[in-house]
Structures are given as structure tokens and as C-alpha cells.
Amino acid sequence: MTQEKIIELKLKEKRGILRGWLDILDETYGVKMTFIARQLDIQIQNLHNFKKGKQTLSVEKLFFLERFLIEKYGKLLIEESK
């Protein structure tokens, strides 16, 4: 496999994990996507489309989203995944 394919597979996996986390936070804990979007300076509609799988975010924004969710909601997400 080429390096680009490996990177793309890892990004695809990361997107799936982040979508799952956003679903958990939205449906189980009532965290609003508007709050997360404003914290990360992402367009609200782009975050909603990302969550639904209609659109992707840049690698940089995926990194920021993952870091924010882990820092802010890490314990909740770990408990939910058990």
C-alpha cells in the first residue's frame, strides 16, 4: 500500500470515530453542535453535515475537533464506549 492510501484509511477511521462521538454527545448528553462549532470556529452547517456524513472537514479541523472532544468530554466518551 502506498503512504497516501494508508493516510486516507486512517483519516476515514478517524472521521467515523468523531461522528460517533458527536452522535453520543448530541443524543445522550444533549450537547449542542452549535456550541462545539463556535468553540472550534467551524461553520455550524459544516459540522452538522460532517456529523451526517454528507461532508468532511479538513485534516486540521479534524485534529482540533478530536483534541477538543477529548479534553472537554473525554471521561463521558470513555464511559459511554464501555
| Unique residue bearing C-alpha cell 483519516 | 11
Q: How far apart are CA 61 and CA 58, in angstroms?
A: 5
Q: pLDDT at position 15, please?
A: 94
Q: pLDDT at position 81, please?
A: 72
Asked if residue 58 lies in contact with residue 40, where contact means CB atoms within 8 angstroms, the answer is no
| Crossing angle of the two packed helices 3-27 and 59-81, in degrees rounded to 10 | 50
Task: List the domain boundaries for the chain.
Answer: 3-81
Q: pLDDT at position 45, please?
A: 95
CATH topology classification for 3-81: 434 Repressor (Amino-terminal Domain) (1.10.260)
Residues of the chain below pLDDT 50:
none
Radius of gyration of the chain (CA): 13
pTM (2 decimals)?
Answer: 0.88
